[in-house]
Amino acid sequence: MREIIEKAWENRELLSNSDVQAAIRLVIDNLDKGIFRVAEPKGSEWIVNEWIKKAVILYFPIQKMELIEVSPFTFYDKIPLKNNFKELGVRVVPHGLARYGSYLAKGVILMPSYVNIGAYVDEETMIDTWATVGSCAQIGKHVHLSGGVGIGGVLEPVQAAPVIVEDNCFIGSRCIVVEGVRVCKEAVLGANVVLTQSTKIIDVSNKEKYEYKGYIPERSVVIPGSYTKQFPAGEFQVPCALIIGKRKESTNLKTSLNDALREFNVPV
């Protein structure tokens, strides 16, 4: 299957071949069932399966636009919506939408929210109101994506890693996590934290500061911050993220964001 996808990627004329189309659709079906993943953990690292991302991209040109009717609403798109939520053991509140080709594990709760194709959402995770999970993003077990959280998607370039939020993380309201940033296990992001590959992530919990980019270490408690940067027009404040401490072992993994921040005397 991988060989077929790779050949079609190099020669798009092969997309008219029924065997090629069948292979692409089989990949998407396996993504939908959680058999395949765009990225998967290997020890402490994550491996991107580029050929599966290629299959997702190739799926669009072989699909026809169709009318999707969910009375009284109608949609017009190439990708159908997921269904059979009862059999999957997934709770979906009205206006919670997930595209076919995304995986939702048992116990996932979708409030009015959106999960795009290629995304993987693991067991007992809450996707809260107006949160979005972008294409190919990887969300772990027992994660809470709070209201309005934006998890970025990525299809191209195919070698780019998707956003990864590992098990037991709490992502506060209106946070933005994009460009393949990895949030490691049990981390807590306070409301409005913005993480991109260029965002400075500064650990200020010790006497000497330490800086990360594109990576939040395990159990970190993170809040929005800023630092002074010199520009031709003068000095201005630039957003950053501040690691103010570690989540304590005594803290319940399902703790609220307020409880986690109160441990560090942050007003909530």
CATH, residue 201: 2.160.10.10
Residue 218 domain flag: yes
Q: Kindly report the number of other CB atoms within 10 A of residue 245's CB atom.
A: 21
Which pLDDT does position 73 carry in this prediction? Answer: 87
Residue 11 has pLDDT above 90, yes or no: yes
Residue 261 has pLDDT above 80, yes or no: no
Residue 167 domain flag: no
Range of the domain at 264: 193-250+259-268
Least confident of 34-48, 197-211, 252-266: 252-266
Q: How confident is the model at residue 159 (pLDDT cuts 50, 70, 90)?
A: confident
Residue 34 domain flag: no
Q: How confident is the model at residue 258 (pLDDT cuts 50, 70, 90)?
A: low
- Mean pLDDT within 192-214: 96
Residue 256 has pLDDT above 80, yes or no: no
Residue 202 domain flag: yes
* Dist. CA 69–CA 67, nearest whole Å: 6
Which pLDDT does position 254 carry in this prediction? Answer: 53
* Dist. CA 122–CA 143, nearest whole Å: 8
Residue 85 domain flag: no
Residue 264 has pLDDT above 80, yes or no: no
What percent of the chain stands above pLDDT 70?
A: 94
Residue whose token pair is 């330490």: 210
pLDDT in tens, 52-64: 999 999 999 999 9
Which pLDDT does position 210 carry in this prediction? Answer: 96
Closest to 112 in 3D by CA, of 88, 135, 94: 94
Which pLDDT does position 155 carry in this prediction? Answer: 85
User: What is the DSSP track for 101-131?
Assistant: TBEE-TT-EE-S-EE-TT-EE-TT-EE-TT-
Tally of structural domains, the chain: 1
pTM: 0.92
Q: How confident is the model at residue 257 (pLDDT cuts 50, 70, 90)?
A: low
* Dist. CA 176–CA 148, nearest whole Å: 9
Q: How confident is the model at residue 253 (pLDDT cuts 50, 70, 90)?
A: low
- Mean pLDDT within 237-261: 78
Residue 229 domain flag: yes
Question: Tokens representing 113?
Answer: 């929210």
Residue 205 domain flag: yes
Report the b/e string of 6-22 with b at 16+ CB within 10 A. eebbeeeebeeeeebbe
Residue 187 domain flag: no
Higher pLDDT, 71 or 213: 213
Residue 251 has pLDDT above 70, yes or no: no
pLDDT in tens, 65-84: 999 988 888 999 999 999 99
Residue 268 has pLDDT above 60, yes or no: no
